[in-house]
Amino acid sequence: MKTEFNHLQSAHCETGVTAGLMHHIGVDKITEPLALGIGAGLFFIYIPFIKISNGPAIAFRVQPGLIFKRTCKALGIPVVRKKFRTREEAASALDEQLRNGQPVGCQVGVYYLTYFPKEYRFHFNAHNIVVYGKEQDRYLISDPVMETTTSLSAYELERVRFARGALAPNGQIYYPKPGAPVTDDMIAHAIRKGIKANAWVMLNIPGPIAGVRGIRFIAGRIRRWRDKLGQHDAGLYLAQLVRMQEEIGTGGGGFRYMYAAFLQQAMQYTPHDALPALSAQFTRSGDLWRTAAVQAAGIYKGRLGSQADFDQITDYLLEIAEIEREAFVALSKIKWT
């Protein structure tokens, strides 16, 4: 069982899977940046009372699955999504789709992905891959973050599809169904809708921990971590920030660069004079996220450690928050012709 599937190496798993599955049904104008923007995927949230790998929960993207769901919905593309109670049901459903020539997206856990380098394996259950075929006991895998296609044994795939813990995938599969042709006008409308939605979540979600306010909130916490937690635990918390920013998909900096690319590509479908400058602002935000990550890594590794070093990270994040606030306010006020 093998379907012709064009592997697209991507910066992030869900946007890459979304673009790859779209191309498979003939919607080949949807790039990875367009999927991020139409799917309103840019986000930030800091949840200090939830711990992941001994550090606070931090996310730079919306809830797993929403980018794919929103992109398809905005373009009028029907979606099939299923979860399963048993491993037997999940394996049977997957094999049935492959026999029908249908590649499927799967949400999986990272820890037991045997083709990942060991240093990149940890307990994170929201990675996305495409399964596009089966040869004897091995499933053919298109993982967007890998350079080439790979494979997993039936046991290995079952293990990652039913990884336990937070965001347990429960054997989930999903794929788009071919529908009416997607026109440039439909893409333009979807882009404008995605920008409006992303601006709202970054500017208007109530409470202090999400969106732009969430970036300011964690900045203030970081300034106090050294005295409150001690040097060792403060370093571990900063390591968590770096891990969630730089090792989970594109993370903080990479998502900002991708959103900048989205605004550039949006010019092809719904041009506006403000978009190039706003794209440059998100590139600047990405640069600062990366600079903050280098500073945080220096503290974790013991090269830095003074209060001034913690204050410097705080200052970077406060500048990031203001850049992103100004950019999303400007995007929300655009009058499209």
Domains of the chain, by residue range, sit at 79-176, 184-332
Q: Which of 302, 265, 255, 257 is nearest to 284 (CA)?
A: 257
Q: What is the pLDDT of residue 252?
A: 61
CA dihedral 22, 26, 29, 34 (to 10 degrees): -10
SS (H, E, C) the chain: CECCCCCCCCCCHHHHHHHHHHHHCCCCCCCHHHHHHHCCCEEEEEEEEEEECCEEEEEEECCCCHHHHHHHHHCCCCEEEECCCCHHHHHHHHHHHHHCCCCEEEEECCCCCCCCCHHHCCCCCCEEEEEEEEECCEEEEECCCCCCCEEEEHHHHHHHHCCCCCCCCCCCEEEECCCCCCCHHHHHHHHHHHHHHHHHHHHHCCCCCEHHHHHHHHHHHHHHHHHHHCHHHHHHHHHHHHHHHHHCCCHHHHHHHHHHHHHHHHCCCCCCCCHHHHHHHHHHHHHHHHHHHHHHHHHHCCCCCCHHHHHHHHHHHHHHHHHHHHHHHHHHCCCCC
* Cα-to-chain-centroid distance, residue 97: 26
Q: How far, in Å, are 54, 77, 117, 239, 260 from residue 236 at the CA level?
A: 8, 43, 22, 5, 30
Q: What is the pLDDT of residues 198-232, one digit of tens each?
A: 999 999 999 999 999 999 999 999 999 999 999 99
Tell me which of 46-60, 100-114, 140-154, 205-219 is least confident.
46-60
Q: What is the pLDDT of residues 236-283, one digit of tens each?
A: 999 989 888 766 554 567 899 999 999 999 999 999 999 999 999 999
Q: What is the mean pLDDT of the chain?
A: 93
Q: How far, in Å, are 45, 281, 301 from residue 287 at the CA level?
A: 19, 10, 21
Q: What is the pLDDT of residue 180?
A: 86
Question: What is the rounded CA–CA span in Å between residue 11 and residue 249?
Answer: 7
Question: What is the rounded CA–CA span in Å between residue 28 and residue 6?
Answer: 11
Bridge partners for 104 per DSSP: 131
Q: What is the pLDDT of residue 166?
A: 81
More confident residue, 246 or 317: 317
Q: 79-176 has which fold?
A: Cathepsin B; Chain A (3.90.70)
Q: What is the pLDDT of residue 165?
A: 86
Q: What is the pLDDT of residue 246?
A: 65
Q: Which of 323, 262, 263 is nearest to 288 (CA)?
A: 323
Mean pLDDT, residues 145-168:
94
Query: pLDDT category, 192, cuts 50, 70, 90?
Result: very high
Question: What is the rounded CA–CA span in Å between residue 140 and residue 131?
Answer: 6
pTM, 2 dp: 0.94
Please give the share of the chain, as a percent, with pLDDT higher than 70: 98
Q: What is the pLDDT of residues 1-44, one digit of tens each?
A: 778 899 999 988 999 999 999 999 999 999 999 999 999 999 99
Question: What is the rounded CA–CA span in Å between residue 154 and residue 162?
Answer: 12
R_g (Cα) of the chain, nearest Å: 20
